[in-house]
Structures are given as structure tokens and as C-alpha cells.
Structure 1
């Protein structure tokens, strides 16, 4: 890049964008015959695009330690892939920089030097304040020479200044005044800000995210026990409970006219209680999924279950009770084995999802035309 273009580029601030939300997957990575392939070995063969997706997943785990995580986009990213802010002032206050690289081999000083130049250029041009940490993130980590230098900040600064004075290809992107300013900053800089994130450390964070089990086919965390349904229906239950009351009213209009009257009914009171327990079991599964699997995974299960029962629900039935029983039976017979969550669910969850669907106006038991 000519020096003139570099000067023009220096007038453009890096574009801050929200970190993309990783997409949900329907099932974990398939299990293959033979010994399992460790996550690190899989990552070695990722494409750069897949590596970026993994970075977005990892960022959801590291974000708990920061006020906000941002990705810098556009051609003028100023040597920053991921910016982790420690205060609401963003790049104007304490922050950490993560630079993602996916190379066939380990990172070397010749790989790191241009990136270090970029970050110091961004500081001297006042695009951001100096980060507290500048962390290289690469699947194969840093090579022995670069690792040793990162462990010896004074020696790293010496090597950086030597490369800066040597005038190699990376320095030819900057004019003389910029290089002098970078050198002045580097001479007084504590080079311990430059660090590397080892892949095992990255995986330790990723393992705590909802994306780990789905990506690597690992076991899901244990599901907590399901709590008891409240004694009386809560406002969130209003729609599906009303639809159940319609079922009981159709069978016994004189005794079943609202939730309270059904609750004390000898036959339908226990039936209503079982449906509410199923609903709360499904709600517990939904909350579990929020922390254990990628966003949208539970909704995929709901959608497939709805697809599996809707024809049964829309068929002709002699009563709403027959329709309800037919749909609940059908839900238990569906093959949902491709879904990540199915190993952590039970028949009660499936029935509860039917009531969630009724609550969302996607299923109805009493057909007004029948």
C-alpha cells in the first residue's frame, strides 16, 4: 500500500459493530467410529470462516468479564479483531484487544510484528487508547521463539525496535513521521501487554458456553430437578389453561366453568394438574436450554414437535378431550432423536411443549365448528 493511501486511511476511524450472534444448530457433531477426535484437533482443520464462527462463540463466554464485546469491521480495523471494553467509555478507557489468526503453523515474530505496528499506529493516531492487553488468538498458538519473547517483554521490545529500524515491508506502509511516533511510544511501552491465548485456555472458556456441546458433540451438563407447579395458575399460563377449561366444560358444563371449579373437580382436577406439571417441566427444559445449548435450539425442537402433531390436531375428533389426548399421544411417538436436547428430555416435556404451543395460539383443543 502506498504511503499516500496510508495517510488517507489514517483519517478513518475503525468501525465498531456488535458481535454477531452465533447461529443455533439442530444436533451435535456426528459421532464417528473409532476414538473421538479432540476439539483442538478438529479446530486445526477449520477454515478461516469457521474459525471466526468459533471466535464469536468464545466471545459469548469471555463477555461475562467485560462491560461489552465489539468486533471491528471494515478495511481499517486498526489491528483489532475483538475489542473487549471494561467500562462504558469503550476505546477511550480500559480495554483488551484480541487478534485472531488462523494459520497452518504457529505464529512467528514476523507474523506478529505487522499487527503490533498496527495497534501502536492506532494509539499514536488517537483512534483508541492503549489496550491493557493485546492477545494473539491462534489455533496452533505461538511458536517457540515468539512464545519466549512474549515471556520476556524487555527482549520483545528490543526485537520490535530492531525490526522497526530495519525498514522491512511492514514499515513501508507508514510515513517517516508516523514511524518516529510509533518508535517513541514503543521505547517507553511495557511490552508485557502483548500476550497469547493458548487453545486449551480458549476451549476452557468455550466449554462454559451453550455452543460447546453442539459444536464438538460433548455431553450436555446435568439438568436441574424440575420444580413444582404453583398451586394456582399464574398469568403466563392463562391461554393454555383456558383452552383446557374449554375441554372440561365441554364434558361437564355444570361443574367446569373456570380454572377454580376444574381444580376441585374429582375427575378433571387431577387431569388439569398433570397438564400444568407437564407445562412447567417443558418450561424448565426451555430455561435449561438457554444456558446449555445455542440460542434457537429449543425453538427448533418446538417447531419440529408442532410439525409432528398439527395434522392430528386438525383432524376431526368427537370432542376436544379426544383431540387433546390424540395430540399428547402423538407427541410421545415422534422421532426427535436428531435434536440436541432430546437426550435431556422426557415424555412429560413433550406434552408440556404441546401446552406451550397452545399458549402461543398454535394449538387448540375445542373446535368451535365441531
Structure 2
């Protein structure tokens, strides 16, 4: 994905790039049921790379509207592990920096000082503009001294300048001109941009993202009730509703010629309404999946339903109604237990997925030669 890629059009979430996307729940590589240990304890055993991925997931759930979130850690990262961009300008626009530190103990000032030097040097070297926030993110948090300094920006700046002037080991990576430029920048800066995050705060936010259940092996959140289909088909229903009208017209060509006439039909009107209710139930499941499981999870379920019913749809049938009934019946017989969404789905959703597939022109009830 390029830097200018806009937010995901389906849900407004920022793109997560340059790191492995979490597997969609229900895929062969997914392992939703995890060991019965608290999420925080599992995080303690993460590798540094996995910790950075967790931070990118967490960042999708914060209140700030990020355009894009990138994992930049590694050799030559210029002190930026995870960058969250607020504009399409990336590092040249407004952004937040998350410095990932996965240590066995709490962060100390001696851990933080070299990283602060890096970010200042990146600015004076014109590699990026100063971030709005520079946040230390460590599973075991910051030690008392660093926590106190982060809570008192004036004292933190004073301590930083003292360490800078002492010319210790961390400063030996830079020449005198660079150190002087760093000092001038630091003197003029409000150090409130330097912050830290507690793991419990991160988990509270991560819990609201689509990644939480898949990452920690927890139950999916409760699914909201499904509302009734509107009285009249919406424009987005046109394709599958027309295919249903074809089914009813084949049975009763005199009385069934459009959706309105079918809706008024004593026999086929209720049948059409049931199909529309199923379609809207599946749409509700799709929207639920968008906010509750990783991207692609719902599409994997759709793909398996299609694979499970297409042979039935392609078989010879006496009528389009027989084909429709056979496909809907087959959808209820499919073994979809490997899919995480099955735990919050119902038979009506499977039938609705068949109508979504018809809406996408992947299924048709009345064959051309019938």
C-alpha cells in the first residue's frame, strides 16, 4: 500500500501497512482459541516484532482519526517504531510516534534518553517533522523516575539537557554540530509531547478493535439485534430482488412481473419478504464482522458458502424456485464450524449470504435455458 492510500472505505479505519496483517478468523492459519492466560501475561512473552504489531492494532482503536498506521521499526528506523499519520503527508505532516520497548523490566531514563536523541536528530536532519506526540510503549510501563519526569515536562527538558551536556555514551553517535542543533531544538520545545502508555489502558482500547478476539482467543462480543427489512427494496437490493422476481414470474407470469406485484401476491409475497429479511440479516452480520473481527473474516465465510452451494446451483432443476430452495437448504447443511462468526450467526444468515452472492451475480436462480 502506498502512503497516499485513503482509509478503508468500508469502515473508515486507517490502513495498517508494512507489517503482517492478523489472519482473518476462520482461516487455516487462525487460532482463535488461545491458552487460558490473561492478555497482559501473553503480551509479556511477545517478541519485539509482535509487540509492534500489537501497537499498530491498538492504534486503530484510539480516538484520534489516523489516516494510516505504519510499522517502521528496524535498522535505520530513526527512532520511529510505529508512526500514525493524521494526514496524507505522512512524516511531513501531523503524526504521532509510538516507541515500542519490549523489555523484561520497566523503562528507565537511561532507556529513554537515547531514543529522545534519535527523534530530535531525525528532526534536525530533516528526515521528518516533529511528531505531535512521542509515546513510550512498554508492556511493563515506565519506572518511577521516568514516570515522574514524563509527568513534569519542564523537569524532563531540564534533565534531558543535563544528559546532553554531559556527553555520555549515547551522545557519541552524533557530531558536535548535530548535538548543538539538538540542544537548540530541545530548549525551545514543550516536552509535554513525550508521554507513556500503561498496558491496561492499551488493552481497554484494543478490546474495542476487530483484532482483540482473534489475538487473545476470547469470545466475540454480543451481536446487536437485526432490524427488519424496509418496506420497499433499496437500490442496493436491485440485483438479487430481480432474480427473485424472475423465480416468481416463472411460476405465475400473469401476477408476478415486478417487486411490487410480487409483494402483493398472496403466496409469493411472504416468500419474497422472508428472503429480504435473510439478506438484511446477513448484511447485519457483515457490518458486525467489520467491527469485531479482522478484515477478510466475513469474506472467507462467504467464499465457503459459495463453494458449498455452487454445485447445487449448477445442477439441473425443474424450475428456478426448485433451484433456490435446493441452494438455501444446502447452505444450512454446510459444515462452517471453523469460522469464528458461526458462533454469532444463525440459519437465516446463511440464506442471506446466498442472496448476497446472487446480488454479486455469483448465483442465479432461473437459468437461461429453463
Q: Give CA-to-partner distance per residue, 1:263-320, whole Å, 9 cap, x none.
A: 2222111111111111111111112222222221111111111111112212222222
2:329 is aligned with 1:333: no
2:360 is aligned with 1:364: no
Q: Shift of residue 67 of structure 1?
A: 5.3
SS in 2 for 1:246: helix
Q: Quick check: 1:16–1:72 contact (8 Å CA) kept in 2?
A: no
For the structure 1 residues 332 and 143, does the alpha-carbon distance in structure 2 shift closer, same or farther, using more than 3 Å as the test?
same
Q: Give CA-to-partner distance per residue, 1:202-251, whole Å, 9 cap, x none.
A: 11111121211222123333322222212222221121112112222222
Query: Pairwise mapping of residues 36-115 of structure 1 onto structure 2 (< 5 A)?
Result: 36-62=36-62, 64-66=63-65, 68-71=67-70, 73=72, 76-84=76-84, 95-115=95-115
Q: Shift of residue 72 of structure 1?
A: 6.9
Partner of 1:290: 290
Query: Pairwise mapping of residues 122-141 of structure 1 onto structure 2 (< 5 A)?
Result: 122-141=122-141
CA distance in 2, matches of 1:86, 1:260: 48
For the structure 1 residues 56 and 88, does the alpha-carbon distance in structure 2 shift closer, same or farther, using more than 3 Å as the test?
closer
For the structure 1 residues 29 and 279, does the alpha-carbon distance in structure 2 shift closer, same or farther, using more than 3 Å as the test?
same
CA distance in 2, matches of 1:282, 1:87: 34
Q: Quick check: 1:135–1:194 contact (8 Å CA) kept in 2?
A: yes
For the structure 1 residues 188 and 246, does the alpha-carbon distance in structure 2 shift closer, same or farther, using more than 3 Å as the test?
closer
Q: Give CA-to-partner distance per residue, 1:131-163, whole Å, 9 cap, x none.
A: 343210122222344334333444433443343
Give the TM-score taking structure 2 as reference length.
Answer: 0.85
Partner of 1:150: 150
Q: Give CA-to-partner distance per residue, 1:156-181, whole Å, 9 cap, x none.
A: 33443343234333212111111122
Q: Unmatched 5+ residue regions in structure 2?
A: 6-14
For the structure 1 residues 37 and 17, does the alpha-carbon distance in structure 2 shift closer, same or farther, using more than 3 Å as the test?
farther
Q: Quick check: 1:313–1:323 contact (8 Å CA) kept in 2?
A: yes
CA distance in 1, matches of 2:225, 2:267: 28
Partner of 1:25: 24
Q: Quick check: 1:302–1:353 contact (8 Å CA) kept in 2?
A: yes
2:277 is aligned with 1:281: no
Q: Quick check: 2:25–2:32 contact (8 Å CA) kept in 1?
A: no
Q: Unmatched 5+ residue regions in structure 1?
A: 1-14
SS in 2 for 1:210: coil
For the structure 1 residues 155 and 230, does the alpha-carbon distance in structure 2 shift closer, same or farther, using more than 3 Å as the test?
closer
CA distance in 2, matches of 1:123, 1:65: 23
SS in 2 for 1:272: helix
Please, what is the CA RMSD of the aligned residues?
A: 2.8
Which of the pair has more CA radius of gyration?
A: 1
Partner of 1:178: 178
Partner of 2:9: none
Q: Quick check: 1:256–1:262 contact (8 Å CA) kept in 2?
A: yes
Q: Quick check: 2:32–2:340 contact (8 Å CA) kept in 1?
A: no
CA distance in 1, matches of 2:84, 2:358: 42
Partner of 2:12: none
Give the TM-score taking structure 1 as reference length.
Answer: 0.85
CA distance in 1, matches of 2:68, 2:201: 18
Count of residues in correspondence between the two structures = 353
Partner of 1:167: 167
CA distance in 1, matches of 2:33, 2:127: 47
Q: Quick check: 2:263–2:270 contact (8 Å CA) kept in 1?
A: yes
Say which is worse superposed, 16-25 or 289-298, in terms of deviation.
16-25
CA distance in 2, matches of 1:221, 1:118: 41
